[in-house]
């Protein structure tokens, strides 16, 4: 005897987005640094910004900050980092 | 009434435009002259009409000429025009109060209630003609607001497959579940009288569609009686309310889990238990409702404890975390009355809570004595020296309540006393070692508690939420700390529960 079940799992259609290709070099690139506003994130990103410019020849660093780490980034923050060649996010404390 | 017309400038991929569209549908259905103006191409516009079941004429704005003439900055923007095409009212973005006021201009009752799962307000997107030009094609619009979801697929288990083992392995929360057979799910659906594919909410963080049918299937698995849908439907809306922020609560490394608190007649109507063992396994209704919410969060929200749910130590409440307030032993106003509901209105509240921390106090003879003991436990929530950013639920046991009430304390007196007497001595910050909360001490408020200089634990008395719960034997109360709070964290919310006789109002 076969039994028929109603699937209780999420079946909402999703679209997989491919990962962006890796950069061959950082030289001359625009890199966005995203601070999610966890304690210590700015210290880490300040150091990273100096390194990216001094050691890797990054041309432009865009700094953006989420108002809270507890929620998704609002549109304004996404807009600010749009167009960067890569984004580095400082996730936690 | 003067001949007014309502224009709505919309974009098909703007989440706020999608949020506002069902309300415009309601107005249009009731003969309000609504016209939509889409800033997008024909194909995107007709797909939007299909997905959102748009019930008003939606015209296009070729060349964005109209948008430019009206100097639209934000979409959506609503314009109320009089018979001479003069703008009577202009409202950018989504705002429930403004929507209801506009509905009123057309003699229509309010269209947006505080408890439909949508935020009170939400900013819109930039009008197309002001967008920075881009050479990339836009991504396909996310459709996160349509009212119809996909029908659940059916799974045929062939003979020989152990149904319990299959469900345990594929659907559960590490405990066995009741198999969601078609018959059982249909029995629940009949109680609701709603369409199986109606979307009640989308569950963060993966935003799975919680259709009536999916909620029912998870309710079956948790062991709920069919009538529990009366609570599960508003509860599903509440868990997806942006103020509660399930997106964060479900993904955090912290201990928080959604605590359900029930108030009003529903406690008796559905046999919720509010006395001894209030936080544990005393009643089918408490245990199965709490578990159904957890299964919905796991199976539809997608934050599984071995994946997106990153809690370092977890919380036993993630099996089930549901109490009913013991209103019979509560001489003050119950929680939902504090939140603006009538006493005979059933309601469900959510609070992102740590596990209960017991307070035993059998020797204190006065309200002050009992509350002092509770204040010491309150000082420890989140982390002893980290202050101001957190809240707490205080579940007062009936024996403590009797002592406190006998001494003439109102509920507000209790809250104020706990607020004024909960603090951390300044000397605890002087070890010289860095520690959580130490760096922020310049922001803290210094008070004196029993002659000792202290920093005040909470930012306001309202951060302390008081309920009465538990059995009448034993002088115990419990304190439950919060997750991150306020608009940047999770806010306690209370939703009304409809009457048993009106499933259409659930």
Contact at CB, B155 and A10, closer than 8 angstroms? no
Distance from CA of A10 to the nearest CA of B (A): 5
Interchain contact, A71 vs B488, CB within 8 Å? yes
Closest in A2, A11, A12 to B159, CB measured: A2
Please list, in sequence order, all residues whose beta carbon lies within 8 angstroms of the beta carbon of residue B451, skipping any fewer than 6 positions away: none
pTM of the model: 0.84
Which of these ranges, B79-88, B358-367, B447-456, has the smallest mean pLDDT?
A: B79-88
From CA B78, how far away is CA B100, in angstroms rounded? Answer: 12
Asked if residue B473 is part of any domain, the answer here is yes
CB-based contacts of B432: which residues, under 8 Å, 6+ apart?
none
Share of chain B above pLDDT 90, in %: 81
Same domain for B168 and B281: yes
Q: Does B10 reside within a domain? A: yes
* Residue-wise pLDDT tens digits, B102-120: 999 999 999 998 888 888 8
Which residues on A lie below 8 Å from B213 (Cβ)? Answer: 6
Residues within 8 A of A (CB atoms), B 127-146 only: 140
Q: What is the DSSP letter of A23?
A: P
Whether the pLDDT of residue B391 is over 80: the answer is yes
Chain A contact for B308 (CB, 8 A cutoff) = no
Nearest to B472 by CA among B414, B377, B368, B400: B400
Residue B23 shares a structural domain with residue B77: yes
* Cα–Cα dist B361/B374, whole Å: 8
Average confidence (pLDDT) over A74-92:
86
| Tally of domains in chain B | 3
Helices (H), B15-95: 15-29, 42-52, 65-69
> Is residue B494 a part of any domain in this protein?
no
Same domain, B312 and B383: no
CB within 8 Å: A8 and B157: no
Answer yes or no: is B19 within a domain: yes
Domain that holds residue B98: 5-130
Radius of gyration of chain A (CA): 19
A2 CB neighbours in chain B (<8 A) are 156-159
Is residue B69 in some structural domain?
Answer: yes
Residue range A61-75, pLDDT digits in tens: 999 999 888 888 887
Cα B428 to Cα B441: distance, rounded to the nearest angstrom:
11
Residues B185 and B58 in one domain: no
Residues 18-37 of A with CB under 8 A from B: none
Number of residues that this document lists for chain B: 506
Alpha carbon distance A69, B478 (integer Å): 29
pLDDT (0 to 100) of residue B243 = 92
Tell me which residue in B299, B302, B488 faces A8 most closely, judged by beta carbons: B299
Of B208, B213, B252, nearest to A6 by CB-CB distance is B213
Residue B494 has pLDDT above 70, yes or no: yes
Chain A residue closest in CA terms to B212: A8
Chain B residues with beta carbon closer than 8 angstroms to that of A7: 152-155, 217
Mean pLDDT of all residues in B198-227: 96
Is B434 a member of any domain? yes
* ipTM value for the complex: 0.80
pLDDT band, residue B144 (cuts 50/70/90): low
Task: Examine residue B149 and state whether it is found in any structural domain, yes or no.
Answer: no
State whether B484 and A70 contact (CB < 8 Å).
Answer: yes
Report the 10 Å Cβ neighbour count for B456. 19
B383 and B281: one domain? no
Q: Where are the alpha helices (DSSP H) in B206-253?
A: 212-222, 229-239, 246-249
- The answer on B470 and B393 residing in a single domain is yes
Select the residue of A3, A13, A72 nearest B163 (Cβ to Cβ).
Answer: A3
A residues 50-69 lying closer than 8 A (beta carbon) to B: 67-68
Q: Determine, for residues B181 and A67 on separate chains, whether the beta-carbon distance falls below 8 Å.
A: no
CB pair distance less than 8 Å for A6 and B181:
yes
Same domain, B251 and B210: yes
**Per-residue pLDDT at B348:** 97
Angle between helices B212-222 and B182-192 (to 10 degrees): 120
Record: contact B154-A8, CB cut-off 8 A: no
Contact B110, B100 (CB under 8 A): yes
What are phi and psi for residue A32, nearest 5 degrees? Answer: -95, 135
Detail the DSSP E strand segments found in B226-384: 257-263, 322-324, 347-353, 357-360
- From B130, B148, B174, the end of a domain falls on B130
Lowest mean per-residue pLDDT among B8-17, B133-142, B335-344, B358-367: B133-142
Verify that B194 and B77 share a domain, yes or no.
no
Same domain, yes or no, for B208 and B112?
Answer: no
State how far the alpha carbon of B329 is from the alpha carbons of A6, B4, B432, in Å: 42, 54, 47
Give the end of a domain, one of B325, B344, B371.
B325
Question: Cβ of A13 under 8 Å from any chain B Cβ?
Answer: yes
B208 close to A (CB below 8 A)? yes
Is B155 an interface residue toward A (CB < 8 Å)?
yes
Out of B81, B109, B130, pick the residue that ends a domain.
B130
Q: Spell out which residues of chain B touch residue A6, defining contact as CB-CB under 8 Å.
A: 152, 154-155, 180-182, 185, 213, 216-217
Same domain? B26 vs B110: yes
Do residue B294 and residue B392 come from a single domain?
no
**A chain contacts of residue B163, beta-carbon cutoff 8 Å:** 3, 5
Residue B133: per-residue pLDDT: 60
Residue of A7, A8, A71 to mutate, interface with B, max B Cβ within 10 Å: A8
Q: Give the separation between CA B102 and CA B28, rounded to whole angstroms.
A: 13
* Overall average pLDDT of the B122-136 stretch: 75
Q: In b/e form, how buried is each residue of B193-230, taking b as 16+ CB within 10 angstroms?
A: ebebbbbbbbbbbbbbbbbbbbbbbbbbbbbbbbbbbb
Same domain, B312 and B194: yes
CA distance B179 to B172: 10
């Amino acid at each position: 005897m076969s039994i028929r079940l109603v699937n209780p799992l999420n079946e909402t259609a999703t679209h997989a987005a491919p990962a962006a290709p890796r950069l061959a070099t950082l030289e001359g690139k625009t890199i966005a640094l995203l601070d999610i506003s966890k304690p210590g994130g700015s210290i880490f990103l300040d150091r990273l910004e100096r390194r990216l410019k001094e050691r890797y020849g990054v041309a432009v660093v865009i700094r953006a900050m989420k108002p809270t780490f507890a929620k998704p980034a609002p549109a304004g923050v996404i807009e600010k980092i749009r167009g960067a060649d890569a984004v580095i996010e400082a996730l936690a404390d | 009434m003067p001949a007014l017309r309502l224009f709505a400038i919309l974009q098909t991929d703007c989440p706020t435009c999608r949020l506002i569209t069902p309300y415009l549908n309601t107005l249009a259905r009731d003969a309000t002259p609504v016209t939509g103006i889409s800033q997008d191409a024909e194909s995107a516009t007709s797909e939007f009409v299909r997905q959102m079941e748009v019930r008003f004429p939606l015209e296009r704005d070729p060349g964005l000429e109209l948008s430019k003439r009206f100097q639209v900055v934000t979409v959506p923007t609503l314009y109320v025009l009089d018979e001479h095409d003069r703008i009577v009212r202009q409202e950018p973005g989504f705002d429930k109060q403004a929507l209801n006021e506009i509905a009123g201009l057309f003699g229509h009752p309010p269209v947006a209630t505080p408890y439909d799962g949508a935020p009170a307000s939400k900013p819109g997107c930039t009008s197309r003609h002001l967008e920075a030009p881009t050479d990339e094609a836009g991504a396909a619009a996310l459709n996160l607001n349509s009212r119809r979801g996909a029908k659940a697929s059916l799974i045929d288990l062939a003979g020989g497959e152990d149904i319990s083992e299959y469900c345990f392995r594929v659907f559960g929360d590490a405990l066995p579940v009741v198999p969601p057979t078609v018959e059982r799910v249909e029995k629940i659906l009949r109680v609701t009288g709603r369409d199986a594919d109606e979307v009640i909410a989308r569950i963060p963080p993966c935003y799975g569609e919680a259709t009536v049918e999916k909620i029912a299937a998870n309710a079956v698995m948790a062991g709920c009686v069919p009538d529990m849908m009366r609570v599960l439907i508003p509860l599903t809306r509440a868990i997806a309310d942006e103020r509660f922020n399930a997106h964060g609560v479900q993904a955090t490394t912290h201990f928080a889990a959604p605590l359900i608190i029930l108030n009003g007649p529903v406690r008796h109507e559905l046999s919720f238990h509010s006395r001894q063992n209030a936080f544990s396994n005393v009643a089918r209704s408490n245990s199965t409702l709490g578990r159904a919410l957890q299964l919905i969060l796991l199976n539809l929200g997608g934050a599984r404890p071995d994946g997106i749910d990153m809690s370092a130590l977890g919380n036993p409440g993630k099996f089930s975390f549901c109490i009913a307030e013991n209103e019979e032993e509560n001489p003050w106003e119950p929680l939902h009355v504090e939140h603006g509901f009538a006493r005979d209105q059933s309601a469900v509240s959510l609070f992102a809570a740590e596990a209960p921390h017991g307070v035993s106090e059998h020797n204190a003879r006065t309200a002050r004595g009992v509350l002092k003991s509770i204040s010491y436990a309150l000082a420890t929530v989140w982390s002893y020296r980290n202050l101001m950013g957190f809240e707490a639920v205080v579940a007062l046991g009936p024996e403590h309540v009797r002592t406190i009430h006998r001494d003439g304390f109102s509920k507000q007196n209790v809250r104020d006393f706990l607020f004024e007497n909960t603090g951390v001595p300044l000397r605890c910050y002087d070890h010289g070692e860095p520690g959580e909360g130490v760096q922020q001490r310049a922001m803290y408020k210094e008070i004196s508690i029993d002659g000792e200089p202290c920093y005040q634990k909470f930012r306001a008395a309202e951060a302390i939420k008081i309920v009465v719960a538990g059995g009448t034997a034993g002088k115990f109360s419990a304190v439950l700390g919060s997750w991150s709070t306020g608009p940047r964290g999770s806010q306690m919310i209370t939703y009304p529960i409809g009457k048993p006789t009106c499933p259409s109002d659930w």
